[in-house]
Structure 1
Amino acid sequence: MKNRDRTPARLRLDSALDGLSAVFRGMSAHPDEDNCECHWGSAEDLALLKTPDTELDPDLLRRTWQATDWTYKASVLRRILPQFATALTRGLIAPLFGMEEVGRTFHRAKWQQWPTEQAAAVEIFLHAWWDHVLTDPDPAVPPYEVLALIAEASVTLSPWLRTWETQTHPTADQHLAEAVTHWECKLLGDYLPWDTWHDEDGMRAGLTAWLLLHAPARLQAHGASEGAAPPDTAAWPHLPRPLGGPTLAGVPLLNPESCAATGPSNMDVRLNGSRHRTSERPSSRDSPLLRKQDSFPKEPEADPAEHLTLVEHLDPVDVPLDHA
């Protein structure tokens, strides 16, 4: 075992996983639970969910947590939770769109309304996992993905951001730099960086305010520790918005050059209804968020169609595209 796996955060996570196993031992799906054999799985698969403590194969685990049409959602999640949580922490769960999908699985099961011991075990796990990913230099799931999951599961951002705020070590700062790189283009366009079922405007405003308050100094220190010039964050409180031109669902589009200037980046782009993430990670010190206000492109004079690059493949039925 690597030394980093013996950290207090790792030990707390192991304890939380053990707690889930103890609390949810013997749980099974409701006897009357059912699902479509044509689209979900066989009668034998369903019988396994009604058999306590039997390990599910990865495909059955995936189909079980992704299904949204269970009648007794809480019982199904309780049945798979110990195995599911362990797989999550190992990076073995791969949602189609983003980890917020996993958070919705928790939310649909209304875990916060479960009996006290059960709800407490889930909450302890979520906090322990969050602490661990912030202290692990190379976590199996990036913190910005875990944050989307736990925010959707708990319907709040505040406690998770407070934890990140107290984690002031270089590893947490590195994760913050990566998160800014991942989030910046959507936040600059007034979008939450993940899809939510909850208060999108409130979460976006809260995340932006937290970043403006806490990120500049930490990213400056992080850049200096890497031997790079500290990023210029003077433009953060007055982020420019392009005037005129096309809008997306009523919100003015950013000039794509302001985000595309960093290269491919790892921002999400929906193509034909699916989200695709590029693998290259630009440096946070090259972020559009960290440039001076006067360095942003001026209002484009070219054909507005040129500025639809990032959304030209979006389904207009799902995301209406208007021109100002």
Structure 2
Amino acid sequence: MKELQLFIETRYWRLLFFSFLAAFTMGCEKEEVETTGLDVANASVKALNTVKITSTGMNFIAPEEIPSGWNTFSYLNKTGEPHFFILVKIPEDKTLEEYHEEVTVPFNNWLKTWREGAPVQDPGIALWFFTDAVNTGGSGLIDAGETAVTSINLQPGNYIIECYVKLPNGDFHSVVGMLDQIRVTEEGSKVKEPKSDVSLIIDGNGMTMEGEVKRPGLHTFSVDFIPGSAADVHLVRIEDPEGADRNQLNDWMYWANIIGYEKEGLMTPAPAGFSFLGGSQELAQGGRTYFQAVLKPGTYALISEVADPMSSGHYVEFEVE
């Protein structure tokens, strides 16, 4: 297992995971949940071209093309469990079907052998994924019936959109349909870069929040990713600050935690006592993204999907009065 863990912790392995979940599009519809709009900025986004993405089950309903430049994504989760989306820029000549067959399927199959105690072997993932696939942002985890709002500056090209939260049986959501392909065109958007009132920095030492959130209401978070960092950020409301098991949240946030055991990392159901309100996926090459959320008085945390975020500096807790 030591050899396996060393392999997992490399930058290329993490990049591998973020993009392996691709192209298979099965329906698996779930009962829709009415959106409350209480915890995330929904209609509050004022942009000329808000890109609407919706999940009604294990799927993404998304446009085929969007302009390059700044885009504000409004991701509505009309399912009964948390999801997110990540955008992965892939080579121009690669299709959704190739991504599925060469990245998603072999990774998911390899994970099954890991649960069974098999030795470390070549998972069979295409080499182009390690050299030519780039994580370019996306939404943080968002609860059932809610909307995540994220702004990303995108270059023209070919992108995969996916969710790799796990089903109770251990399969990634992408394997049962949570993936799609989006073309970012040469035509530029007319949206200007957002303005933030809360600033986050993610680097090799962890996550830092500059300033304080002093009031409830709508807030826009900027997230600066230092090149080489391999962490994202998820906004979580701690519903019961005294009784919530933060250690359980800490363990659940890392996809590779306790593979093969109960409550495996990122496997649904999510830990009780926490509400997921969005955030931002990582930018592998550095840069800045934004996300919005409406905060009510209470206790919140910003947490990354890394091994042991609370001990590695990737956890920030704060109060809203």
TM-score range, shorter chain: under 0.3
Bigger proportion of residues as strand = 2
Bigger proportion of residues as helix = 1
TM-score by length of 2: 0.24
TM-score by length of 1: 0.24
